[in-house]
């Protein structure tokens, strides 16, 4: 995919800014590459494009398997494209290497969107730690923005850590739920609801409408007793159908209203700034961990120290201090 010729970052950045999707795809492949020279080139590329980033509405979307994430992204994406937006769809799914597929592999569920000129769909980076996968998705998001996509939808599976990672890279975190079955409050127990800027109950169509409304009432009641993330935004609970499109407009309007409220209170800029700094620390942690694993002397020391800790010969605190000393 990427040849061995040195990569001309200037040309790639130009093509990407001009909105060439082949260039965008190539740039993301560069970001995902493990080769040291590719990683250095990718860093230069993102740095060069930085002034062209940050302008999109970034929406994280989560929900249990089968809740309708793909169907929702297809419907919301088409809704936005019909309103002259350009929509990029990314994903954070660290398990995709293990399962051999990707949550975005099911392009049939996004048939309309994947065939649309206004959309760009990229599956999750397929391997690595959650931190690594999230970092790559975050950089891919910046590239999409530089290429002119003004809405970025980031999908993730409903698993704790990856939800936090997606929440940390988006402006609005949308939790999708199913109507009924008495498990309405599950999300709240998992702490997910505390991250959510909105709860949307999908499949409110046909026989499901009544159950969806009941579920919505339960969530509203439960949200009432939680402290909201922002005093300027109380997460709404709404019902919709990705299949029929009912409620799609209200869903998007809430995302816009949230942006307006966050801009007015200054939280929008504050949240983006915090995210940048958090990201720096996460990259730094990854680099330190990479050094722990790659430096032969440190690796030998770690192995020896690990055994000593396991045998109870030294305390974990002393061991950590000794290893940290070697990193200096």
Ligand X SMILES: Nc1nc2c(ncn2[C@@H]2O[C@H](COP(=O)(O)OP(=O)(O)OP(=O)(O)O)[C@@H](O)[C@H]2O)c(=O)[nH]1
CB 71 → Mg ion: shortest distance, Å? 8
Q: Is 66 in the site for ligand X (CB under 6 A)?
A: yes
Question: Are the C-beta atoms of 209 and 36 separated by less than 8 Å?
Answer: no
Q: Is 205 in the site for ligand X (CB under 6 A)?
A: yes
**Alpha-carbon span 301 to 292, nearest angstrom:** 10
By CB under 6 A, what part of segment 102-141 binds ligand X? 103, 106, 109
Based on the number of CB atoms within 10 Å of its own CB, is 36 exposed (0-12), middle (13-18) or buried (19 or more)? exposed
Q: Is 102 in the site for Mg ion (CB under 5 A)?
A: no
The entry of ligand X, Mg ion, none near residue 65 (CB within 5 to 8 angstroms by kind) is ligand X
Q: Is 70 in the site for Mg ion (CB under 5 A)?
A: yes
The entry of ligand X, Mg ion, none near residue 242 (CB within 5 to 8 angstroms by kind) is ligand X
Helices vs strands, H then E, count in the chain: 15, 7
Question: Are the C-beta atoms of 304 and 295 separated by less than 8 Å?
Answer: no
Contact pick of 62, 70, 162, 170 for ligand X (by CB under 6 A): 70
Cα-based angle 23, 29, 33 (whole degrees, multiple of 5): 145
Q: Is 65 in the site for ligand X (CB under 6 A)?
A: yes
**Alpha-carbon span 102 to 94, nearest angstrom:** 9
Closest-approach residue to ligand X (CB): 68
Structure tokens at 22: 């082949």
Q: Is 214 in the site for ligand X (CB under 6 A)?
A: no
DSSP class of residue 17 equals H
The entry of Mg ion, ligand X, none near residue 124 (CB within 5 to 8 angstroms by kind) is none
CA dist 10 → 14, 41, 137, 230 (Å): 6, 11, 22, 41
Residues 223-262: x where in contact with ligand X by CB under 6 A, - otherwise, as a string: ------------------xxx-------------------
**Alpha-carbon span 30 to 42, nearest angstrom:** 6
- Which C-beta is closer to ligand X: that of 138 or that of 203? 203
CB 242 → ligand X: shortest distance, Å? 4
The entry of Mg ion, ligand X, none near residue 202 (CB within 5 to 8 angstroms by kind) is ligand X
Question: Are the C-beta atoms of 173 and 235 separated by less than 8 Å?
Answer: no
Interface ranges with ligand X (CB under 6 A) = 63, 65-71, 103, 106, 109, 202-203, 205, 241-243
Point out which residues bind Mg ion (CB under 5 A).
69-70, 103
């Amino acid at each position: 995919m990427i040849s061995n010729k040195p990569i001309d970052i200037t040309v790639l950045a130009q093509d990407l800014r001009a909105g060439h999707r082949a260039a965008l795809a190539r740039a993301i492949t560069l970001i995902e590459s493990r080769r040291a020279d590719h990683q250095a080139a990718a860093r230069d590329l993102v740095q060069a494009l930085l002034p062209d980033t940050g302008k999109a509405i970034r929406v994280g979307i989560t929900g249990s398997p089968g809740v309708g994430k793909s169907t929702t992204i297809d419907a919301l994406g088409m809704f936005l494209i019909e309103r002259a937006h350009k929509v990029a769809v990314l994903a954070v799914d660290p398990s995709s290497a293990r399962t051999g597929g990707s949550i975005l592999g099911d392009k049939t569920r996004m048939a309309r969107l994947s065939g649309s000129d206004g959309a760009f769909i990229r599956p999750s980076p397929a391997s690595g730690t959650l931190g690594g996968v999230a970092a790559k998705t975050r950089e891919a998001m910046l590239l999409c923005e530089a290429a002119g996509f003004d809405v970025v939808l980031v999908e993730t599976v409903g698993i704790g850590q990856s939800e936090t990672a997606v929440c940390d890279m988006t402006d609005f975190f949308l939790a999708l739920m199913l109507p009924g079955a008495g498990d309405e409050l599950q999300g709240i127990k998992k702490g997910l609801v505390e991250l959510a800027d909105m709860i949307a109950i999908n499949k409110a169509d046909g026989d499901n409408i009544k159950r969806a409304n009941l579920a919505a009432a339960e969530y509203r009641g439960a949200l009432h007793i939680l402290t909201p993330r922002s005093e300027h935004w109380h997460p709404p609970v709404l019902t919709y159908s990705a299949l029929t499109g009912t409620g799609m407009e209200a869903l998007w309007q809430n995302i816009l209203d949230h942006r307006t409220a966050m801009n007015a209170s200054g939280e929008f800029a504050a949240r983006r700034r915090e995210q940048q700094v958090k990201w720096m620390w996460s990259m730094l942690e990854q680099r330190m961990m990479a050094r722990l694993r790659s430096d032969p002397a440190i690796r030998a020391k770690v192995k020896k120290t690990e055994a000593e800790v396991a045998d109870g010969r030294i305390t974990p605190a002393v061991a950590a201090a000794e290893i940290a000393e070697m990193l200096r």
